[in-house]
């Protein structure tokens, strides 16, 4: 059983460009959350998707948007990239169940903005 | 903001028990204590969680004080592979959604050979 997978592993972009990151949840999971982790900091919550809709959102600008597909996979899009968007982007999947809603993380995508 | 306080760093000798403390004095009745760890540049790994009773799994034990204001994660026989940043997180659980995780800066645990 594959865990949470993310692609690509690494990405280099320049300021002003747009980027799309992808996440496939663990089998049986229907909820996907995205986190940003700057160097030396703990992960910060961006948003969460369930039933193809954004259910929660952290303190991130509208340049950050997402999508969830019918197969529960998800994309994170960032427009008009800034140098400060350089970070490790983490996807976590979980079941939408009160009993078993533990979030499991993927390996992350390292984004570098030049 | 994170609702927990952890020491920034700790060392532990290989083969000994590693005891990582966490203070969460403002925890609410519907909030659980979760522990994750992150090995350098990898995604955080779930370790264990609990509400008020002590919990144990194949990775670790979680001891929560009776007043729930603090807890300790115990790695019973630390190995070099346990060197990581350990995050203690207080997270609400409800029937109304899958609550986000709010990470602090964690404890950097170094296992000494």
Q: pLDDT, tens digit, for every residue of B83-97?
A: 999 999 999 876 666
Q: Which residues of A touch B102 (CB under 8 A)?
A: 45
b/e per residue A68-97 (b: at least 16 CB within 10 A): beeebbbbbebeebeeebbbbbbbbbbbee
**B1 pLDDT above the threshold of 70:** no
* CB–CB contact A92 B105 (8 Å): no
With CB atoms and an 8 Å threshold, state whether B94 touches A4.
no
Return the number of CB contacts < 8 Å for A and B: 65
> pLDDT value at position B41?
81
Taking residues B35-63, what's their average pLDDT? 95
Count of positions (residues) in chain B? 113
- Select from B49, B95, B100 the Cβ nearest to the Cβ of A48: B100
């Amino acid at each position: 059983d594959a865990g949470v997978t993310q692609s690509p592993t690494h990405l280099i972009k320049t300021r002003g460009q747009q980027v799309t990151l992808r996440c496939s949840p663990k089998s049986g999971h229907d909820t996907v959350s995205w986190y940003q982790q700057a160097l030396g900091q703990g992960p910060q919550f961006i948003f969460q998707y369930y039933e193809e809709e954004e259910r929660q959102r952290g303190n991130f600008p509208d340049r950050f948007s997402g999508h969830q597909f019918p197969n529960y996979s998800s994309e994170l899009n960032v427009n008009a990239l800034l140098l400060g968007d350089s970070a490790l982007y983490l996807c976590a999947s979980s079941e939408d169940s009160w009993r078993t809603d533990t979030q499991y993380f993927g390996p992350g995508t390292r984004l570098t903005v030049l | 903001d994170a609702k927990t306080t952890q020491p920034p760093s700790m060392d532990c000798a290989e083969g000994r028990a590693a005891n990582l403390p966490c203070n969460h004095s403002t925890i609410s009745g519907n909030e659980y204590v979760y522990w994750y760890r992150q090995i350098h540049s990898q995604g955080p790994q779930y370790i264990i969680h609990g509400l008020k009773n002590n919990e144990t799994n194949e990775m670790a034990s979680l001891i929560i004080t009776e007043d729930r204001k603090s807890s300790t994660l115990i790695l019973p026989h630390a190995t070099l592979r346990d060197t990581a940043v350990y995050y203690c997180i207080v997270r609400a659980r409800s029937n109304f959604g899958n609550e986000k995780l709010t990470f602090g800066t964690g404890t950097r645990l170094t296992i000494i050979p």
